[in-house]
């Protein structure tokens, strides 16, 4: 700590330091020290002796709140993937489809803040701003959480119904589904088939 006793004894300097600190632009103690040619520690000691504890708390609060405004805020501009708390996928709807925050370029579901991830991925793959009206996005492996581009297909509603009607997985027993790993999304109790 470099507090100068000579600076603390200089009443004129002390008055000027306190006036600078309490001025309208609310400079930091470091800025006040630099302005008057003294160290930060000397400026802090002068201000601490001149102001009450309550005044110091108020002044510190003003300076702290100003330090978090605009570009000075460490979180300024950190949205989406840049934000440390970003989780990416938000949640699943009751049918197991993943919803995400609607990207700014996506025009589908105009009144909604959230959109289906598989529709966003498909539109992005096709270079469109939304999935064409009257078309469905089909999950090839029937896993609604797998929204990777190679697992999605754009189909008509009739084609989508026929794909699900002819699915070979529909003919498997619960035990066979469990063994193949396709029923892992739903908790089941596996039982050996009886002969």
> For the chain, which ranges sit under pLDDT 50?
183, 186, 188, 195
pTM for this model (two decimals): 0.44
User: What pLDDT was estimated at residue 145?
Assistant: 86
The enclosing H or E element of 117 equals helix 117-126
Predicted local confidence at residue 195, as pLDDT: 46
Residue 154: strand, helix, or coil: strand
Query: At 168, is the secondary structure helix, strand, or coil?
Result: helix
Contact 147, 119 (CB under 8 A): no
The structural domains of the chain, with segments of one domain joined by +, span 5-72, 86-166
List beta partners, residue 69. none
- Supply the pLDDT for residue 83: 74
Q: Using DSSP, state whether 137 is helix, strand or coil.
A: strand
Q: What angle separates helix 29-36 from helix 40-50, to the nearest 10 degrees?
A: 110
């Amino acid at each position: 700590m470099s507090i100068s006793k000579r600076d603390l004894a200089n009443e004129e300097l002390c008055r000027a330091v306190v006036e600078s600190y309490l001025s309208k632009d609310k400079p930091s103690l470091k800025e006040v020290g630099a302005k008057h040619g003294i160290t930060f520690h000397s400026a802090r000691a002068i201000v601490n002796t001149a102001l009450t504890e309550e005044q110091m708390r108020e002044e510190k609060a003003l300076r702290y709140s100003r330090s978090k405004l605009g570009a000075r805020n460490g979180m300024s501009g950190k949205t989406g993937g840049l934000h440390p708390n970003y989780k990416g996928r938000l949640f699943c709807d009751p049918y197991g489809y993943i919803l995400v925050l609607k990207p700014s370029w996506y025009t589908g579901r105009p009144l909604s803040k959230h959109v289906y991830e598989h529709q966003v991925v498909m539109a992005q793959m096709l270079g469109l701003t939304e999935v064409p009206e009257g078309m469905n996005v089909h999950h090839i492996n029937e896993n609604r959480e797998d929204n990777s581009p190679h697992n999605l297909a754009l189909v008509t509603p009739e084609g989508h119904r026929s794909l699900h009607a002819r699915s070979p997985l529909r003919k498997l027993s619960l035990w066979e589904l469990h063994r193949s790993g396709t029923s892992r999304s739903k908790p089941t109790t596996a039982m050996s088939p009886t002969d």
